[in-house]
Structure 1
Amino acid sequence: MSLGAGIFLFAVGAILAFAVNVSVDWVNLQVIGYILMAAGLVGIILGIVLITRKRTATSTTATGVDPVSGESVRRSVRTEDQI
């Protein structure tokens, strides 16, 4: 779930819990609103955690001499790992 979807669920839940004044016999809209707000809050927290997770970058450099031409050769490789 993305951060935007979590905010959307929280907003819809708040509207159902606090702004809608309709009574339906087979469902309690206020409870549905609270459930959507909780789901939205979980989505917001997960979205923030996924955005701020750490990544590590490793750079490896190898130098050597080309045996044919005698020139110095340098090779650089960068890898990114997710923790």
Structure 2
Amino acid sequence: MSIGLGIVLFVIGAILAFAVEVSLDWIDLSTVGYILMGAGALVVILGIVLLARRRRTISTSQTSVDPATGTQVRRDETSAPDSTAY
């Protein structure tokens, strides 16, 4: 979602900066376009970083019943994936 939002911001900014030739007294649409393009690029970069960060850990959860006592036992493991898997 964040990568798509970044692309949308970048495209809207490019349209405002390069395609719209409307002159307004109270705002410079070219500057707003450049700001949106910068924000879009930043959102895309942050989205890529967060996607790469999300893939670094593997979490495993297992719930079972102990046959001797009848209580539930939950086991959680978190580990880093093998670097050769990519």
Q: Same fold (TM over 0.5)?
A: yes
Structure in which a larger fraction of residues adopt strand: 1
RMSD in angstroms over aligned alpha carbons? 2.9
Question: Structure 1 runs of 4+ off > 4 angstroms?
Answer: none
Per the alignment, residue 45 of structure 2 pairs with: 45
Higher Rg of the two aligned structures: 1
The number of residue pairs the alignment matches comes to 69
**Structure 1 residues 56, 22: CA separation in 2 closer, same or farther (over 3 Å shift)?**
same
Measured after TM superposition, the shift of residue 55 of structure 1 is 2.0
Distance in 1 (CA, whole Å) between partners of 2:40 and 2:32 is 12
Q: Which amino acid aligns with 1:50?
A: L
Per the alignment, residue 78 of structure 2 pairs with: 80
Provide structure 2 residue ranges, at least 5 long, that are not aligned to the other structure: 61-66, 69-74, 81-86
Q: Which amino acid aligns with 2:78?
A: E
Structure in which a larger fraction of residues adopt helix: 2
- TM-score normalized with structure 2 length: 0.66
- TM-score normalized with structure 1 length: 0.68
Q: Which amino acid aligns with 1:56?
A: T
Provide structure 1 residue ranges, at least 5 long, that are not aligned to the other structure: 60-65, 68-76
